[in-house]
């Protein structure tokens, strides 16, 4: 199934984005060209997610 999202250069915030469905959604949005902010309480998983996508800004 393919969904055509026009999110190029849009900003997206994903809570729980370091694993599971949140990580899957973050991956989809990044591939679609969105600017993605991932937030998660699991610091080690968040670090791995940042490595996966590359960190452009670390706040």
Give the Cα separation of 36 and 5 in Å (integer): 14
**Taking residues 13-38, what's their average pLDDT?**
93
Give the Cα separation of 26 and 23 in Å (integer): 5
pLDDT at 54: 81
Q: Which of 3, 2, 1, 27 is nearest to 12 (CA)?
A: 27
Q: Model's pTM, two decimal places?
A: 0.79
Chain segment 29-57, per-residue pLDDT in tens? 998 889 999 999 999 999 999 888 886 55
pLDDT-derived band at 24, boundaries 50, 70, 90 = very high
């Amino acid at each position: 199934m393919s969904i055509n999202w026009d999110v190029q250069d849009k900003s997206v915030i994903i809570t729980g984005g370091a694993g599971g469905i949140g990580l899957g959604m973050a991956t989809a949005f990044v591939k679609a060209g969105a600017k993605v902010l991932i937030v998660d309480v699991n610091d080690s998983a968040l670090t791995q997610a940042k490595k996966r996508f590359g960190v452009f800004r670390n706040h």
